Amino acid sequence: MATTTLATLLTNSSTRRVVDVDDDQNHLSRLPPITDSISTIHAFISKWDPHSSLSSRFLRATTHLHSYLLYLAASPARSSRNELMRTNSLLQSAMNCLDQELRNHLSISDVHTLTDTISTVRSIVETMLSTGYGEECLTTYQSIHRAAVMSQLNQLGFDLYANRTRKLRKLKWEVLENRIQSWIDALQKAVWSVFFHEKQLSDKIFGASAQSVRDSVFATIISDIAGTFFSFPEIVCTKHVKRVPERLFRLLDLYKSLSDLIPDIESVFASEPVSSVKTKVMSSLTKLSVSIQTILYEFERSIQKDTTKIQTAPGGQVLALTWYVMNYLLSLSNYEAPLRVILADVPQDSDTSSIQSFDSDNRYGSPVSVRISWLLLVLLRKLESKAEKYNDVALSYLFLVNNVYYMAKKVDISTLKESFGDEWVAVHMTKVRRYMEGHVRSGWAHVSAALPVKDEETVERVREFEMVFHKVVKEREGWVIVDPVLRNEVRLLVESMLVPAYRGWYQVYRGKMEVRFAPEDVQNQVLGLYEGSSSGSGSGSGSGKLLRRFGCYLPQQGDMSVRFQIEGSKGTGG
């Protein structure tokens, strides 16, 4: 509402009126002589000091003078023009003093300590309203309180001017991320310590006026300031989050912080004059929701269409993609509450239909668990696709052992297990063991078949075995099984295939021909496999480019405000 319009409303709601002449004379007859009021006002003005206390006698005299002015204006026959002008001039001087008093009382303390002077401020306001100076009163009150509210927000870390749309859109994400945290930190205090407190002050100071007036006063001070404050998340979404999966977590932080305060916001901004603020809040939540849904969709597409040049991990190690996605999903699971609301609002299309049919028997319960489970399936399919890129079937199986084990273990030791349970982990560990068996079968069966078994073929078979075994061991020096327990199990499986049979032959024929490997040599070389090369580990292969593709940062479990940039090769741990 414009200041002048509100001032009219204030004046109409006050005691200002053009009275009936007879009624007014009866009213004046009950008051002290006008000369007494004029003397009181002259004395106050002549000795006025901004640091002196304001007397109730001066306020009563001012109201009396205003009534006298109305009386003179309503009965020109009983007064001279000069008397009317002198009375009006004196009233104007008194109002100038009151306006300055109002400024002083509003300025001596901030919005929060103003309580000490509310009684005096309310008396000044009521006097100015009742004497027809509503516009001046509102202008003073509004300008000082708007400045106080902006100062309070600035102290909370939100600069109203620095966070306007044009300025925010020019910021780099790293700078904006700090602004986001500042906004989140300020949000609750802004709602209660600034906006709600300002509403209380408006209700108290303008308490003699109608509720509609009090609501309108609050609106003239707060509406555009609060609108700018609550539009911050929407501006962030508009410019800075396209196709960058990692930024999802900051949007979720914003969404959760804002949605948690919806009941409080609706309470503070319940009246019609400030309804635009609630509209702005809901607009920001809607924009955040849409952006979060979009990023999740883009994240899924990034997994499906990963086109990094390095399609396989050397030695069958854990792929950077696996490492990143699992940590990403773990971080995602920390936002169960906001995601439950956001994902429930996803519009129906072919993609969401696929996800819903995937959980047609409602195994996973919440929409969040369904979406995470779907993304795990998307990752698993991508890993199976990448496994086919290996030229060696045994290495392909080893790649699946490492990557699927990493997925299952990550679920087993994290909060993800609360959603998927022991059954999910058991199913995928069974897959891991099938891959292990496939690796041993495809990678070592031909070596076992080369063991010498017949006397007439002994020399040739020994040479063949030595050649095959040496070649296999040499080729697999860089192969790795990242988990030490699985590594030992595979070693023992291979050892049981080769060493007992070789030892039995060796004990019979070791003195009859030259033999390159003793049984202990075969055993030691098998037990030395799957450690990987010393040059690095799997998640580093292509990790720099991949993680830059995924947004440059890796979200960390339990602390979305902490990020670290991935540069070059990193280990497979965690």
Q: Specify the CATH number for the domain of residue 415.
A: 1.20.1280.170
Cβ-proximal residues to 541 (8 Å cutoff; 6+ apart), any chain: 310, 312, 313, 314, 317, 319, 320, 569
Check residues 119 and 286 and name the one with the higher pLDDT.
286
Check residues 238 and 203 and name the one with the higher pLDDT.
203
Residue 145 lies in a domain: no
Which pLDDT value is given to residue 530?
Answer: 94
Strands of 117-200, DSSP E: none
Residue 54 has pLDDT above 60, yes or no: yes
Asked which of 266-270, 273-277, 415-419, 425-429 is least confident by mean pLDDT, the reply is 415-419
Residue 238 has pLDDT above 50, yes or no: yes
Asked which of 195-209, 240-254, 523-537, 553-567 is least confident by mean pLDDT, the reply is 553-567
Decide: 374 and 346 in contact? Cβ < 8 Å. Answer: no
Mean pLDDT of 394-399: 96
Check residues 345 and 171 and name the one with the higher pLDDT.
171
Residue 280 has pLDDT above 80, yes or no: yes
Residue 555 lies in a domain: no
Residue 486 lies in a domain: yes
DSSP letters spanning 511-557: TTS--S--HHHHHHHHHT-SB--TT--GGGTTHHHHHHHTTSEEE-T
Mean pLDDT of 316-335: 93
Over residues 491-526, the pLDDT tens digits come to 999 999 999 999 988 888 877 788 899 999 999 999
pLDDT band at 134 (very low <50, low <70, confident <90, very high): confident
Structural domain that includes position 74: 1-18+29-131
CA distances from 127 to 29, 65, 147, 175 (A): 21, 11, 24, 49
Residue 30 has pLDDT above 80, yes or no: no
Which pLDDT value is given to residue 8?
Answer: 57
- Amino acid letter, residue 498: L
Which pLDDT value is given to residue 6?
Answer: 60
Which pLDDT value is given to residue 226?
Answer: 96
> How far apart are alpha carbons 572 and 574 in whole angstroms?
7
Residue 225 lies in a domain: no
Which pLDDT value is given to residue 569?
Answer: 30
| CB < 8 Å & 24+ apart, contacts of 509-517 | 509/452, 509/458, 509/462, 513/458, 513/459, 513/462, 515/462, 516/466, 516/470, 517/466, 517/469
Mark which of 97, 131, 165 sits at the end of a domain. 131
Cβ-proximal residues to 504 (8 Å cutoff; 6+ apart), any chain: none
Residue 40 has pLDDT above 80, yes or no: no
DSSP letters spanning 230-277: HTHHHHHHHHH-TT-GGGHHHHHHHHHHHHHTHHHHHHHT-SGGGHHH
Residue 21 has pLDDT above 70, yes or no: no
Check residues 456 and 407 and name the one with the higher pLDDT.
407
DSSP letters spanning 90-122: HHHHHHHHHHHHHHHHHHSS-TTTGGGGHHHHH
Tokens encoding 503: 């030892």
Residue 15 has pLDDT above 50, yes or no: no
Residue 544 has pLDDT above 70, yes or no: no
Tokens encoding 170: 């020019």
Average pLDDT, the chain: 80
Mean pLDDT of 125-147: 89
Share of the chain above pLDDT 70, in %: 75
Mean pLDDT of 465-477: 93
Q: Among positive and negative, which fits the CA dihedral 132, 134, 139, 144?
A: positive
Mean pLDDT of 14-27: 44
> How far apart are alpha carbons 528 and 429 in whole angstroms?
24
Which pLDDT value is given to residue 354?
Answer: 53
Check residues 534 and 101 and name the one with the higher pLDDT.
101
Residue 132 has pLDDT above 90, yes or no: no
Decide: 112 and 43 in contact? Cβ < 8 Å. Answer: no
Which pLDDT value is given to residue 307?
Answer: 63
Which pLDDT value is given to residue 10?
Answer: 56
Which pLDDT value is given to residue 285?
Answer: 96
Residue 390 lies in a domain: yes
Decide: 387 and 400 in contact? Cβ < 8 Å. Answer: yes
The number of C-alpha atoms within 13 Å of 290 and in the hemisphere containing its C-beta is 12
Residue 432 lies in a domain: yes
Tell me phi and psi for residue 480, to 5 degrees.
-140, 145
Asked which of 91-100, 247-256, 265-274 is least confident by mean pLDDT, the reply is 91-100
| CB < 8 Å & 24+ apart, contacts of 239-244 | 239/168, 239/169, 240/171, 240/173, 240/176, 241/291, 241/295, 243/295, 243/298, 244/173, 244/295, 244/551
Residue 196 has pLDDT above 50, yes or no: yes
Over residues 165-176, the pLDDT tens digits come to 778 888 888 888
| CB < 8 Å & 24+ apart, contacts of 297-303 | 297/351, 298/243, 298/245, 299/245, 299/248, 299/328, 299/375, 300/374, 300/375, 300/378, 302/245, 302/549, 302/550, 303/375, 303/378, 303/379, 303/382
Task: Tally Cβ neighbours within 10 Å of residue 355.
Answer: 18
Decide: 284 and 231 in contact? Cβ < 8 Å. Answer: yes
Residue 82 has pLDDT above 60, yes or no: yes
pLDDT band at 17 (very low <50, low <70, confident <90, very high): very low
Which pLDDT value is given to residue 365?
Answer: 67
Which pLDDT value is given to residue 171?
Answer: 86
Tell me phi and psi for residue 50, to 5 degrees.
-60, -15
Residue holding tokens 């609060």? 226
Domain count, the chain: 2
Mark which of 113, 131, 149 sits at the end of a domain. 131
Mark which of 531, 554, 569 sits at the end of a domain. 531
- Amino acid letter, residue 114: L
Share of the chain above pLDDT 90, in %: 46
Which pLDDT value is given to residue 195?
Answer: 96
Residue 211 lies in a domain: no
> How far apart are alpha carbons 160 and 242 in whole angstroms?
25
Mean pLDDT of 24-49: 61
Tokens encoding 55: 């007397």
Residue 186 has pLDDT above 90, yes or no: yes
